[in-house]
Structure 1
Amino acid sequence: MAEHHTDVQAFFGARAAGWDTRFPDDGPVFAAAVATLGLRPGDTVLDAGCGTGRALPALRDAVGPGGTVVGVDVTAEMLTAAARAGRGRDGALLLADVTRLPLRDGVFDVVFAAGLISHLPHPENDLRELARVTGSGGRLALFHPIGRAALAARHGRLITDDDLRAEQNLRPLLAGAGWRLVSYVDEDSRYLALAVRDDATGRGG
């Protein structure tokens, strides 16, 4: 797992400084996704794998000054870019591994995760860790600014049947990690899978 994280850190670390200029039009798409989460003033939200913090302003607007926003990323350069962009004003920036969070059980109402699932070394265990820090009835949003087909085309690939983000694969994966998939959108303009922490299975372990 350490080797995997080193690879992730090397990949994103090298791209952090130019990340926002590479994807300059993503802001409204992030804001639209956040608007679907049902966040209320005073809620507590985790941006897991926050990168340069593009979701943090919208998350802060949703929970208001009395809410709590925490952005976690394993790549220091990404958090540095987030701080330079002023996004530390919208949420606490924490250098940490989302697969082993230094956070208490059940503290978040919502976990927002943009582009995260494809970088998890052990997806079911790692999604269970996100369930651990989420309170009863809490929600998980797995998001990407473009859908699977558009993303594959961007990289010159085709969608494969083993893609974890496909609904038929994601639903049982989430269920094994203590989540129940409640809505699924995969279109060119966005990918957004919403799940609720399933109290019938506790935290999945």
Structure 2
Amino acid sequence: MSDDHARVREFFTARAPVWDSKYPDDTPAYRDAVARLGLRHGDRVLDAGCGTGRALPVLRDAVGAEGIVLGADLTPAMIDEAVKAGRHTKGQLLLADAARLPVRTAVLDAVFAAGLIAHLPRPDDNLRELARTVRPGGVLALFHPLGRAALARRQGRTITPEDLRAEENLQPLLARSGWRMTSYVDVDTQFLALSVRMS
């Protein structure tokens, strides 16, 4: 395991038991974001960096019983919390690195990633790996239940010009990685950047 991976795993292992309590009322934001993906019953979707699996029930509702929902996370403690919460019944949980997903090429219709981009050690490579798993025309949602400014205030920090989630930084990053950004929302109550997998 690389030093970057070890740091991410250490960060989330310490926070896993209280993770759900950090954002207790964000289900409506998740529902809105997933609705914007345009998923249909029978679709295949990955929650990349699924954490405690908070998106899995919403994704399952969107794709129905006949769809496939995968949740992948690097941190065993987060996967354990997802199981304790019963969310493993809504999708298959994978202990996996977003840089090397155990998913075949071009089989997914969409990837949902809540809070993931801030923790990617190599964003270009990692987003390219997500693109590998999605069919041309499939969708990526980079989401957070708080916008950049609200999250920065909550964490007691200021937003820097290098912030990967800034539209002027994110759009070219996605383009280099096989995605075309189609919409960008950054308000206090939600961050959501949608992109389409280029062929």
Instruction: Check whether TM > 0.5.
Output: yes
- Give, in whole Å, the separation in 2 of the partners of 1:21 and 1:178: 35
Partner letter of residue 67 of structure 1? Answer: G
Task: Tell me the number of residue pairs that the alignment of Structure 1 and Structure 2 aligns.
Answer: 199
Partner letter of residue 65 of structure 2? Answer: P
Which deviates more, 6-15 or 24-33? 24-33
Partner letter of residue 51 of structure 1? Answer: G
Match of 1:180 in 2: 180
Which deviates more, 1-10 or 46-55? 1-10
- Give, in whole Å, the separation in 2 of the partners of 1:37 and 1:102: 23
Match of 2:118 in 1: 118
Percent identical pairs in the alignment equals: 62
- Give, in whole Å, the separation in 1 of the partners of 2:67 and 2:186: 30
Q: For each residue in 1:118-155, what CA deviation from the matched residue of structure 2 results, as whole angstroms up to 9, or x when unmatched?
A: 11111011100000000111100000000000111111
Partner letter of residue 82 of structure 1? Answer: A
Question: What are the equivalent positions in structure 2 for 1:144-155 lying under 5 Å apart?
Answer: 144-155=144-155
Question: What are the equivalent positions in structure 2 for 1:9-158 lying under 5 Å apart?
Answer: 9-158=9-158
Partner letter of residue 194 of structure 1? Answer: L
What is the CA-CA distance between 1:34 and the residue it aligns to? 0.7
Per the alignment, in what secondary structure is the counterpart of residue 160 of structure 1?
Answer: coil
- Give, in whole Å, the separation in 1 of the partners of 2:41 and 2:179: 24
Q: For each residue in 1:166-196, what CA deviation from the matched residue of structure 2 results, as whole angstroms up to 9, or x when unmatched?
A: 0000010000001000000000000000000
- RMSD of aligned Cα (Å): 0.8
What is the CA-CA distance between 1:103 and the residue it aligns to? 1.3
- Give, in whole Å, the separation in 1 of the partners of 2:122 and 2:19: 26
What is the CA-CA distance between 1:18 and the residue it aligns to? 1.2
What is the CA-CA distance between 1:23 and the residue it aligns to? 1.8
Per the alignment, in what secondary structure is the counterpart of residue 196 of structure 2?
Answer: strand
TM superposition score normalised by structure 2: 0.98
Unaligned residue ranges in structure 2 (runs of 5+): none
What is the CA-CA distance between 1:49 and the residue it aligns to? 0.1
- Give, in whole Å, the separation in 2 of the partners of 1:26 and 1:77: 21
Which deviates more, 93-102 or 25-34? 25-34
Instruction: List structure 1 segments (4+ residues) > 2 angstroms apart after TM superposition.
Output: none
What is the CA-CA distance between 1:22 and the residue it aligns to? 2.5
What is the CA-CA distance between 1:158 and the residue it aligns to? 1.3
Partner letter of residue 93 of structure 2? Answer: L
Match of 1:8 in 2: 8
